[in-house]
């Protein structure tokens, strides 16, 4: 059937029935950024049964009805309840401690990585995660290497790739592309970053790093510094931390790159979270439990002069770190340009290369969970000694 369709807050559902919804020009997405054109969207194939994901942020007890994520897609972390987020952190720690034992968890499974824009860490992390679980990988890196260069829609690409792979990871420069992909595929789809919107698996890596460094992911004062307008990692992290509560966000940016209103609204909606906006990193760094640095993203700017003017707004140096707590964790989603001086790498507070490892482990945990493959010897909710 043809109908106009405005995307709701994401829900996913079982795979028993499908309907076809033809998206028309001008359909809006529930976030900033231009909508995909009609040709880019193509027809969206949706499952039409009861949702398997819950938007509730409450924890689900082991004895209760735990959220079932097997066979489901992950477009935003709002689709995972907080029990599952903590559970994935525990599973990642278990995987790290039992790598040989879990090596065959996804044997016979195939991951497709569809990366429509450049990526090194995220693509290799997804692929390495599947390979370490005993599975295999297919895919492409760059839209010029896919049939999109011939005019194929995202929807058609996903329908085709669903026949080859058991699970798909997609990165795309357009906000909302991951949702289109999830609606189109017959297998689980993981959002590996959609434009300036969200990057849920990077957030999982960030949370695992905070847990490893600080022993908690709540009751924090966290600074986020740099490009807060286009930084999808920042948006994902803020929106997820507000669900755990008791977090004070210190937002450090030039006036041109402040945090979008829809992200600030998430903080305002929390009864236990608050935020402060400032342009002076040195004035606030001493209050922080963690500092999340970001680069100014050249690829998000239409005007190169604006990029060049803002690129060096904040550079973290050893001198600035002397003002910080001795146990503050410094995070960065990478790649780094020059916003963290190389000399900082030697500081024990530098946690950004640890994030890379945690990201791979969290993707291993997530891929296995969405595929319904159990980790040998693992008991849900167990704590793993560091």
Helix spans in the chain (H): 38-41, 82-97, 121-132, 154-161, 177-184, 200-214, 232-244, 261-269, 281-284, 304-310, 318-321, 352-371
121 marked as part of a ligand binding site: yes
109 marked as part of a ligand binding site: no
DSSP 3-22: ------S---B-SS-EEEEE
> What are the b/e assignments for 65-92, b being 16+ CB within 10 Å?
ebbebebbbbbbbbbbbbbbbbbbbbbb
295 marked as part of a ligand binding site: yes
pLDDT in tens, the chain (386 residues): 333 323 333 333 222 222 222 332 233 333 333 334 433 433 322 332 222 333 333 333 333 357 899 999 999 999 999 999 999 999 999 999 999 999 999 999 999 999 998 888 899 999 999 999 999 999 988 766 556 666 789 999 999 999 999 999 999 988 899 999 999 999 999 999 887 667 899 999 999 999 999 999 999 999 999 989 888 889 989 999 999 999 999 999 988 889 999 999 999 999 999 999 999 999 999 999 999 999 875 554 455 665 555 566 788 999 999 999 999 999 999 988 889 999 999 999 999 999 999 999 999 999 999 999 999 999 886 555 44
Contacts of 83 (CB under 8 A, 6+ apart): 59, 60, 61, 66, 67
248 marked as part of a ligand binding site: no
Residue 36: predicted pLDDT: 45
172 marked as part of a ligand binding site: no
Contact 380, 109 (CB under 8 A): no
What would you report as the CA-atom Rg of the chain, rounded to the nearest whole angstrom?
20
232 marked as part of a ligand binding site: yes
The DSSP element (H or E) to which 46 belongs, if any, is strand 43-47
88 marked as part of a ligand binding site: no
C-alpha span between 6 and 184 (Å, rounded): 16
Which domains can be identified in the chain, with CATH numbers? 18-196+359-371 (3.40.50.1370), 201-355 (3.40.50.1370)
| Sheet containing 247-252: order of strands | 274-278, 247-252, 220-225, 290-293, 329-331
Residue 41: predicted pLDDT: 38
157 marked as part of a ligand binding site: no
pTM: 0.80
Question: Sign of dihedral through CA atoms 261, 263, 269, 270?
Answer: negative
């Amino acid at each position: 059937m043809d109908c106009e369709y405005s995307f709701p807050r994401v829900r996913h559902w079982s795979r028993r029935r499908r309907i076809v919804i033809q998206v028309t020009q001008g359909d809006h997405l529930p976030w900033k950024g231009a909508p995909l054109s009609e040709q880019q969207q193509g027809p969206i194939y949706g499952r039409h049964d009861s949702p398997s994901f819950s938007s509730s942020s409450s924890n689900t007890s082991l004895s209760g009805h735990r959220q079932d994520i097997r066979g489901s897609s992950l477009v935003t972390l709002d689709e995972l309840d907080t029990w599952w987020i903590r559970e994935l952190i525990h599973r990642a720690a278990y995987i790290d401690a039992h790598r040989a034992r879990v090596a065959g968890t996804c044997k016979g499974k195939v991951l497709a990585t569809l990366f429509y824009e450049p990526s090194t860490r995220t693509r290799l992390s997804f692929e390495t995660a599947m390979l370490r679980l005993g599975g295999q990988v297919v895919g492409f890196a760059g839209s010029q290497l896919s049939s999109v260069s011939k005019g194929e829609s995202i929807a058609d690409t996903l329908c085709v790739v669903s026949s080859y792979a058991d699970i798909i990871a997609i990165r795309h420069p357009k906000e909302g592309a991951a949702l289109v992909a999830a609606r189109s595929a017959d297998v689980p789809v993981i959002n590996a970053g959609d434009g300036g919107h969200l990057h849920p698996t990077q957030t999982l890596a960030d949370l695992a790093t905070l847990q490893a460094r600080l022993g908690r992911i709540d009751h924090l004062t966290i600074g986020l510094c740099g490009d807060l307008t286009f930084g999808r990692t920042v948006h994902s992290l803020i929106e997820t931390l507000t669900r755990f509560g008791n977090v004070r966000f210190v937002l450090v940016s030039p006036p041109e790159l402040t945090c979008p209103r829809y992200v600030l609204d998430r903080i305002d909606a929390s009864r236990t979270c608050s935020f402060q906006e400032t342009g002076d990193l040195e004035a606030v760094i001493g209050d922080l439990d963690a500092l999340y640095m970001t680069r100014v993203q050249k690829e998000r700017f239409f005007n190169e002069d604006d990029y060049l003017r803002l690129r060096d707004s904040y550079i973290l140096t050893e001198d600035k770190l002397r003002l910080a707590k001795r146990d503050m964790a410094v995070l960065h989603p990478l790649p780094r340009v020059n916003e963290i001086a190389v000399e900082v790498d030697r500081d024990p507070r530098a946690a950004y290369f640890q994030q890379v490892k945690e990201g791979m482990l969290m993707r291993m945990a997530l891929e296995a969970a969405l595929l319904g493959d159990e980790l040998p010897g693992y008991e849900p909710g167990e704590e793993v000694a560091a």
